[in-house]
Chains A and B, each alone.
Chain A
Amino acid sequence: MTKRKPYERKMGATWWLKNAFHTKYIIREGSSLVIAIYSMVLLFGLFRLSQGTDAFNGWLGAMSQPAWLAFHLLTLVWTLYHSITWFSLAPKAANLWLGQKRVPDSWIVNSMYGALAGISVVGLVLVLI
């Protein structure tokens, strides 16, 4: 008869709190929660816009409430955190070569920041003109 009795350890719901790397990962992925809510709110704003000026102004007014401003600030910070961590990981998903030399990781990371800055400026210009 076998004497084997392998013991399985359970992970438990708090597994991600036991290791700093895993905690940071969950914080990174957690941003998707606020981004989902943010997208819904924005879509609702578009919907109000389709209903006319008054409806849209009502939505704008609600968005100026301190609670909503705080939510938007939180979303911005959390999304930026996600972006920074994502940019630093991006070179892993790219295998780019120039002739016989591999494109340095820093080029890929910097071009992502460049693209972020570029798109942000275009967005700002569109909003402000």
Chain B
Amino acid sequence: MAEVMKIEILRYRPETDKEPVWQTFDVPFTREMSLLEALAYIKDELDPTLSYRWSCRMAICGSCGMMVNGIPKLGCKTFLRDYPKGMKVEALANFPIERDLVVDMSDFIEKLESVKPYIINDNPKSLDDGCHTQSPKDMAQYKQFSMCINCGLCYAACPQYGLDKSFTGPAALAILHRYNQDNRDAGKAERMKIVNAEEGAWGCTFVGYCSQVCPKDVDPAAAIQLGKVDSAKDYVIAMFKPGE
């Protein structure tokens, strides 16, 4: 037998609403029902105008980020059974609301692109030289940071980003660190300019909430602190190499 749960959703329809308004829906649910399935039920059975984003339904595409009782969550990785007191669902914080639960993420995407998230190497090894070798230690330097699914939950968790949108932010800095740490990459010098900038690693005050909410255990806060260590080293080295 399905129980019924009240789900409150912050609606925003740009053509009619001046500002977002709360709307409550009664959703019958079973133990295994995720919030994303509940939203699908609402859209199919109660109100077809509800807008939200999703694709994979398995915490890998990063589309379904939203605030659940004020905490950034993936809709597909959040289960109704864990919220006996009900749910208040809202679009991801720190991003402009486009419509209902859909946010405009373009600022985040621009930041991701700005960190050159690809291997840079002007002199790649030729095939004759054989394959790249990476020890478990070499790989451990970046693997965790490569697990990011670009969901943006860490940006919704970050008050520094909320207060100042020029901050490069957790995921972009984590991905930057991921490429800097990869021993196949030779682009560190280019990326360090981004880390060293005011909006780079030093814009972080180590709140640490990004790592707490990350659904893939990327630990962006760790990447940023290690970025600060790199940046400090960079600064000291630059003092001894004037003119460069």
Give Cα distance in the complex from A15 to B19, angstroms. 19
Nearest opposing residue in chain A for B226, CB measure: A95
Interface centre among B136, B211, B222 (most CB of A within 10 A): B222
- Whether B209 sits at the interface, judged by CB under 8 Å, is yes
Cβ B12 vs Cβ A25 within 8 A: no
Cβ B70 vs Cβ A25 within 8 A: no
Q: Out of B20, B162, B219, name the residue touching A92 (CB < 8 Å).
A: B219
Smallest Cβ distance from A109 to chain B, in angstroms? 14
Interface centre among B96, B135, B211 (most CB of A within 10 A): B96
Q: Hey, what's the 0/1 contact readout for A90-101 against B, CB within 8 Å counting as 1?
A: 001101010010
Cβ A6 vs Cβ B208 within 8 A: no
Pairs A–B under 8 Å by Cβ, sample size 30: A6-B14, A6-B96, A7-B14, A7-B20, A8-B96, A9-B93, A9-B97, A11-B159, A15-B162, A18-B70, A19-B71, A19-B209, A21-B207, A21-B212, A22-B207, A25-B159, A25-B208, A29-B205, A89-B206, A89-B221, A92-B208, A92-B219, A92-B221, A93-B222, A93-B225, A93-B228, A97-B137, A100-B135, A100-B137, A102-B140
- Whether B2 sits at the interface, judged by CB under 8 Å, is no
Residues of A within 8 Å of B70, CB to CB, are: 18-19
Cβ A11 vs Cβ B163 within 8 A: yes
Give Cα distance in the complex from A121 to B135, angstroms. 43
Cβ A11 vs Cβ B208 within 8 A: no
Nearest opposing residue in chain B for A101, CB measure: B137
Q: Hey, what's the 0/1 contact readout for B197-230 against A, CB within 8 Å counting as 1?
A: 0000000011111011000000101100110110
Q: Hey, what's the 0/1 contact readout for A5-39 against B, CB within 8 Å counting as 1?
A: 11111010001101101100100010000000000
Give Cα distance in the complex from A11 to B157, angstroms. 12
- Whether B15 sits at the interface, judged by CB under 8 Å, is yes
Nearest opposing residue in chain A for B211, CB measure: A92
Smallest Cβ distance from B23 to chain A, in angstroms? 15
Cβ A7 vs Cβ B12 within 8 A: yes
Residues of A within 8 Å of B225, CB to CB, are: 92-93
Residues of B within 8 Å of A102, CB to CB, are: 137, 140
Interface centre among A3, A6, A11, A18 (most CB of B within 10 A): A6
Q: Out of B159, B162, B163, B226, name the residue touching A93 (CB < 8 Å).
A: B226
Cβ A22 vs Cβ B163 within 8 A: no
Nearest opposing residue in chain B for A88, CB measure: B208
Interface centre among A5, A11, A15, A89 (most CB of B within 10 A): A5
Supposing A7-B19, A9-B97, A93-B229 touch, asked if A22 and B209 sit within 8 A by C-beta, the answer is yes
